[in-house]
């Protein structure tokens, strides 16, 4: 069931929905213009400062004009619901294409990437960072044009939360390491996400994968990915190098901006096309399209010695490549020093000795800890609770670890001789606060749950909605990041029970 009208647009059908709202196909009544109408969730309007952020960000987005960016027509508010109308593009999302074909040929990937660079350059020049670049935000139109949508929307939805808690904004599989750590983003953060999208288009899999979103974010920050060439046999080395550079952990090691990246992609595609057509004579220096072609004089077959008198362009290129390979593999002083069996054995012996020392020192530390627990008095008891809190912290139950430490702090309040222990408890509570500062966002597994519960209630399946909410409450019991969402869906179920009595189900005969 969709609304008949939103603002100046009459709604024809639903195009899709997600965590950021629902999209409808609408027609403007004044001139018949078709547009994609994105209706934002009503809960957003209740967030402090949302209306001001909405107007400010939408006005900035309206200034974007680029053939590869979905044009924003207008925005507004109707009956407490905020929406914006954007260009309707005939085609499919990159997600749909990947589900059908899994992989995309590398030449087409480069063509798509060049168009994406044009969209990113236009946005970055206007001071807008996308923050949520992913296949579902890319539309492949029927005429071959690639269009990027939802510019700045992620920042719009969570600007307040971002400044208060350091929450991460974006999609885990395509998020840059600095976003995953709740740090400051820049245009190079979008380039990292672009590199992840290129990786998926080329290989059919994400560069980093995990069972949970937290595992994926940790992989982005600290993990290593398989080289794309492992999945694609005909992938050029220059393209693999670009993808790997885009996925660098350090933003300073990525390309400086989308324009430079676009030029590199265009140059690589041009050289690959020339090589596939059999033209490998690059000459000395930069290629000039106006340089006249020089044809070689035919040689008589009887004078074989003339063929070795002057090397041709193919021989020159071969010799240059061979010389470069020999230079790159020429051993330096360190390599020559390591190319000795006795040196390697000595290094191995040092590593073994270091490992033995490390294990012995670890055993001594564990023995000291055990001795502390076998002691008597308040300190031994507090140490036992410290170890229990560390256990729950390691397994991810931060709330229970905090409750243990807060209880210990209360017990030590009226003991003047326990000042040092109270300081240690305070430090551990501070460490827990640091750990949870970047993990207060609503779990991604709960995305769309509110809409699902609402749908069950609207279709008269209240018992299923109650069962779903009860199981979610048991699953996320004590999880502060899910408390607000669980409260909202529970309120929906409670209100539905007040509106109409439950319908009894007939007993089976």
H or E stretch at 14: strand 9-18
Per-residue burial over 94-133, b if 16 or more Cβ lie within 10 Å, else e, is beebbeeeeebebeebbbbbbbbbbbbbbbbebebbbbbb
Given 31, 101, 125, 132, which residue is catalytic?
132
Among 377, 375, 403, 374, residue whose Cα is nearest residue 388 = 403
Alpha carbon 155 to its chain centroid, in Å, reads: 14
The pair phi, psi for residue 147, each rounded to 5°, is: -125, 135
Tokens 């012996």 belong to residue: 349
Q: Would you give the DSSP letter of residue 229?
A: G
Full DSSP string of 325-390: HHHHH---HHHHHHS-HHHHHHHHHHHHHHHHHHHHHHHHHHHHHHHHHHS-SHHHHHHHHHHHHH
132 part of the active site: yes
- Name every residue whose Cβ is closer than 8 Å to that of residue 411 and which is 6 or more positions away in sequence: none
Please, are residues 72 and 205 in contact by the beta-carbon 8 Å criterion?
A: no
Q: Where are the beta strands (DSSP E) in 68-189?
A: 72-78, 81-87, 91-93, 138-141, 146-148
| Dihedral in degrees, nearest 10, Cα atoms 167, 173, 178, 179 | -30
Among 408, 409, 389, residue whose Cα is nearest residue 399 = 389
Residues annotated catalytic, as ranges: 132
């Amino acid at each position: 069931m969709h609304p008949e009208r939103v603002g100046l647009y009459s709604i024809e059908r639903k195009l899709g929905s997600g965590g950021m709202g629902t999209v409808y196909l609408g027609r403007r009544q004044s001139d018949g213009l078709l547009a994609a109408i994105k209706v934002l969730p009503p809960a957003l309007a209740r967030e402090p400062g949302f209306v001001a952020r909405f107007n400010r960000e939408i006005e900035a987005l309206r200034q974007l004009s680029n053939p590869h960016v979905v044009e924003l027509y207008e925005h507004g508010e109707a009956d407490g619901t905020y929406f914006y109308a954007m260009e309707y593009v005939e085609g499919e999302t990159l997600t749909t294409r990947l589900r059908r074909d899994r992989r995309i040929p590398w030449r087409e990937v480069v063509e798509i990437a060049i168009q994406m660079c044009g969209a990113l350059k236009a946005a970055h020049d206007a001071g807008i960072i996308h923050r949520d670049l992913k296949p579902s935000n890319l539309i492949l139109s029927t005429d071959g044009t690639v269009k990027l949508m939802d510019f700045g929307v992620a920042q719009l939805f969570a600007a307040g939360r971002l400044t208060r808690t350091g929450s991460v904004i974006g999609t885990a599989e395509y998020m840059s390491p600095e976003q995953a750590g709740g740090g400051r983003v820049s245009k190079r953060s979008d380039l990292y996400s672009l590199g992840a999208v290129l990786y998926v288009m080329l290989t059919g899999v994400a560069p980093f994968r995990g069972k949970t979103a937290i595992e994926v974010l940790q992989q982005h920050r600290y993990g290593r990915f398989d080289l794309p060439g492992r999945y694609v046999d005909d992938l050029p080395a220059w393209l693999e190098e670009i993808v790997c550079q885009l996925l660098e952990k350090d933003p300073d090691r990525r390309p400086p901006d989308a324009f430079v990246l676009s030029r590199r992609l265009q140059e690589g595609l041009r050289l690959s096309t020339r090589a596939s057509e059999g033209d490998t004579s690059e000459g000395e220096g930069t290629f000039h399209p106006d340089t006249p072609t020089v044809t070689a004089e035919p040689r008589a077959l009887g004078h074989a010695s003339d063929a070795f008198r002057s090397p041709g362009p193919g021989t020159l290129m071969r010799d240059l490549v061979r010389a470069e390979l020999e230079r790159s593999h020429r051993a330096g002083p360190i390599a020559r020093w390591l190319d000795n069996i006795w040196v390697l054995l000595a290094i191995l012996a040092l590593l073994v000795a270091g490992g033995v020392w490390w294990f012995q020192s670890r055993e001594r530390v564990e023995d000291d800890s055990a001795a502390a627990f076998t002691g008597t008095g308040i300190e031994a008891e507090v140490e036992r609770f410290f170890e229990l809190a560390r256990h729950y912290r390691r397994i991810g139950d931060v709330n229970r670890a905090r409750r243990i430490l807060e209880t210990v702090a209360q017990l030590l309040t009226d003991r003047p001789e326990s000042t040092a222990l109270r300081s240690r408890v305070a430090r551990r509570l501070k460490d827990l606060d640091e750990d949870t500062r970047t993990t207060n966002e609503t779990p991604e597994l709960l995305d769309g749950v509110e809409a699902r519960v609402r749908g069950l209630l609207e279709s008269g399946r209240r018992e299923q909605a109650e069962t779903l909410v009860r199981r979610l409450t048991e699953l996320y019991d004590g999880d502060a990041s899910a408390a607000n969402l669980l409260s909202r869906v529970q309120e929906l179920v409670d209100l539905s029970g007040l509106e109409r009595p439950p319908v009894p189900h007939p007993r089976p005969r």
